[in-house]
Structure 1
Amino acid sequence: MSATRTEAVPRTVTMRRRDLSWPVLLGCLLVALAVSVAVGTRPVDLAVTWSVLPHAVMGDTQSVSGVPALDAAVVESRVWRTAAGVLTGAALAVAGALLQGATRNQLGDPGILGLTAGAACAVVTGAVLGGLVSPGSQLWLAALGSAVAMLLVYGLATAAKGGARPVTLALTGAAISAGLGALTSAMLLTDQATFNSFRTWQVGDLSRPDGTFLLLAAPVILVGLLLAWPLGGSLDTLSLGDALGRGLGAHPALIRLLAGVAVVLLAGTATALAGPLVFCGLLVPHAVRAFVGVSYRRVIPACMLAGPLVVLLADTVARVALPDRELQVGIALVIIGAPALVAIVRRKGVVTA
């Protein structure tokens, strides 16, 4: 009896901690939203920020009276930047969780596996060769590039000796990312106008998308998130192995297909919005598992909250890290993500199953 009670106490504590994780995550995200709107390189009085905020959300700062036009414009740009961070963070974090579950690879990430590089290359190719620079064109080009990169990485990894093992996928993705990144840089250097337009976007920038771009991207990301949410239980089954999963009634090929479609929509759209951000899709799923457990039924919705939180905090730090100038959010994420990647590999190793 005493042993049973002893085992029940840690389990109860763990369940309570997981239940508390949701309001904590939501509260932290709300704080990050407020800080993202209020903090930046140019100081704006908080009273002015909150008075302009409703008008900025509606895109109507012109009608605000008693506020300097420059302050109103700054608040409006922060609102769009915050919205881009929410969409991008949720999309990349959920895409990373889906990739980790579908491939059973702890290093699954749209950046590491080449999807963001493929999306970026497609967007730049369309701009340089076809003059396709409208938000709608960039969204579809990014989705196409992400899909082609996914098929290329998986095809090459499958053809390698031993098949598409996690290590093979990661190495193939890194090689494809390097190649596509070099091609993207070469095209930008040959076209000065496109280079000027995509210079900061290439390293990850939330300040580029405007309201029109965000309104076009939001439904695509929403579809990807809605497609990802019900896959949690299927990914839990898939984590037991394909053979056992089939025995339990799962269809591994269909699960991976649906996960792939969701990843393409999420990673491609996020890249079109903010550029080829890396590490968000790797870090966030690993971080939330420490709070909500390993089940993808909880990991995926937790990523929808934690992804925007990480991106917004990184972007806020990037704004104020240097006096009188801003860093890009992609740089801040790399500074955070590189040591975290080393820590993950040292602590857990690389899954080879």
Structure 2
Amino acid sequence: MPGSSTFARPDAAPSAPRGRARGQGMSWLAMAALLLVAVFLSISYGSRPIGLGVTWHVVPHVFSGDPGAVPGVPALDGAVVESRVWRTGAGLLTGAALAVAGALLQGATRNPLGDPGILGLTAGAAFAVVAGGAFLGLTGVTHQLWLAALGSAVAVAAVYALASAARGGARPVTLALTGAAVSAGLTALTSAVLLSNQATFDTFRRWQVGELTRPDGTFLVLASPVILVALLLGWTLARSLDTLTLGEALGRGLGVNPALVRGLAGLAVVLLSGTSTALVGPLVFCGLLVPHAVRSLVGISYRRVVPACLLAGPFIVLLADVVARVLVPDREIQVGIALVVIGAPALVVVIRRRGVVAA
């Protein structure tokens, strides 16, 4: 009857938004649960088997005392658990930093291939840290953090300058190709410095491909405030990035200064990528993979994408690290290698599914 259909429509119309909100709520819960599982696995499992009871008995002593002197626990087991705790902390910080940096790059440049690794930031940070240690003797934690940030800033400036000089300007594909070229050149220079200096090579040979075992408690304490401030800055820029997706002219009409937003986003990206590289080395693809993955769960708004990256980024890094530990018995693979294995196919999927063109 006409009357029945008239009343059915108002009842049915709100169901879609409610269903969508319920689905997104489940997505947030799932991401939080998966991150907790990844933290548990990262602390509990590795190439050296240690019972769960011993592991979780030692964990409180990592923060309150000497984990190597826990009654009834072998000193070696205590030291292994301590290293896993710091390793997990490094994975949490760097995963969040790189994922949010990738989201900010994609939003500020409107480039679906935005990633600190692809656009040369991590390679620039790595070269600055290695060169500073080899030629200037700047091997302290504070020195490495500042060198990494400076290297990231110079590298991204070089990529944008070179891409802008190309025919058609700084288009997404041009930026990606220029970033790949700059990254390759800086990586080659980094390798040359390492091979010419034995002491520097011994210090950075594993760090060069990305590893979570290097940072200790002191390193994490010094790096955490920088990453947290940059993450907070990125979070506050999320609404402005949403506005910029409507176009610069409309963004200005709504009170957003595109140049200021992009400048602040660039500052946050430099701090995030530089600090994470100083911590664990140049990890690639995390910043590309995670933002695209979470968009399929929480939508395209950066007010949801950025906080979702805070959960999904650490999960991806910790999961890759756990797989790298247990994949080859009695020998651990660096997390950077595991991320490349995951991220390279992801790059192909992004190009094919999102149709990366000049934009």
What's the TM-score bracket when you normalise by the shorter of the two chains?
A: over 0.9
1:59–1:137 distance in 2 versus 1, CA, 3 Å: farther
Aligned to 2:345, which of 327, 339, 345?
A: 339
1:77 aligns with 2:83: yes
**Kept after mapping to 2: 8 A contact 1:104/1:351:** no
**1:185 is aligned with what amino acid?**
S
**Kept after mapping to 2: 8 A contact 1:91/1:221:** yes
Q: What do residues 285-334 of structure 1 show as CA deviations (whole Å, max 9, x unaligned)?
A: 01111111100000001101111011000000000000110000000000
Deviation, structure 1 residue 87: 0.4
1:140 aligns with 2:146: yes
SS at match of 2:310: helix
Whole-angstrom CA distance in 2 between matches of 1:351 and 1:212:
45
Q: What do residues 321-348 of structure 1 show as CA deviations (whole Å, max 9, x unaligned)?
A: 0011000000000001111111111111
Task: Could you tell me which runs of 5 or more consecutive residues in structure 2 were left unpaired when the two chains were aligned.
Answer: 1-5
Instruction: State which drifts further: 164-173 or 66-75.
Output: 164-173
TM-score, normalised on structure 2?
0.96
Aligned to 1:110, which of 116, 119, 123?
A: 116
Other-structure match for 1:61: 67
1:216 aligns with 2:216: no
Aligned residue runs from structure 1 range 1-353, under 5 A: 1=6, 8-58=14-64, 60-353=66-359
Deviation, structure 1 residue 9: 3.6
Whole-angstrom CA distance in 2 between matches of 1:100 and 1:5:
39
Deviation, structure 1 residue 59: 5.6
Whole-angstrom CA distance in 1 between matches of 2:249 and 2:168:
18
Instruction: State which drifts further: 234-243 or 140-149.
Output: 234-243
Q: What do residues 94-151 of structure 1 show as CA deviations (whole Å, max 9, x unaligned)?
A: 0000000000011100000000000000000001101111111110000000011111
Deviation, structure 1 residue 243: 1.8
**1:247 is aligned with what amino acid?**
G
Deviation, structure 1 residue 75: 0.2
Instruction: State which drifts further: 156-165 or 294-303.
Output: 156-165
SS at match of 2:72: coil
1:48–1:98 distance in 2 versus 1, CA, 3 Å: same
Whole-angstrom CA distance in 2 between matches of 1:3 and 1:165:
45
Whole-angstrom CA distance in 2 between matches of 1:3 and 1:125:
67
**2:324 is aligned with what amino acid?**
A
**1:48 is aligned with what amino acid?**
V
Whole-angstrom CA distance in 2 between matches of 1:63 and 1:164:
57
Structure 1 stretches of 4+ moved >4 Å: 1-8
Count, aligned residues: 353
Whole-angstrom CA distance in 1 between matches of 2:81 and 2:357:
45
**Kept after mapping to 2: 8 A contact 1:57/1:76:** no
Task: Could you tell me which runs of 5 or more consecutive residues in structure 1 were left unpaired when the two chains were aligned.
Answer: none
Deviation, structure 1 residue 8: 4.3
Q: What do residues 170-205 of structure 1 show as CA deviations (whole Å, max 9, x unaligned)?
A: 111111101111111111110111111111111010
RMSD: 1.3
Give the fraction of aligned pairs with identical amino acids, expressed as a percent. Answer: 69
TM-score, normalised on structure 1?
0.97
**Kept after mapping to 2: 8 A contact 1:105/1:351:** no
Q: What do residues 249-287 of structure 1 show as CA deviations (whole Å, max 9, x unaligned)?
A: 211000000000000110000000010000000000011
Whole-angstrom CA distance in 1 between matches of 2:80 and 2:270:
33
**Kept after mapping to 1: 8 A contact 2:69/2:78:** no
Pick the structure with greater CA Rg.
2
Whole-angstrom CA distance in 1 between matches of 2:164 and 2:63:
47
SS at match of 2:195: helix
Whole-angstrom CA distance in 1 between matches of 2:213 and 2:311:
21
Whole-angstrom CA distance in 1 between matches of 2:182 and 2:294:
28
Q: What do residues 223-255 of structure 1 show as CA deviations (whole Å, max 9, x unaligned)?
A: 100111111110011111212211222110000
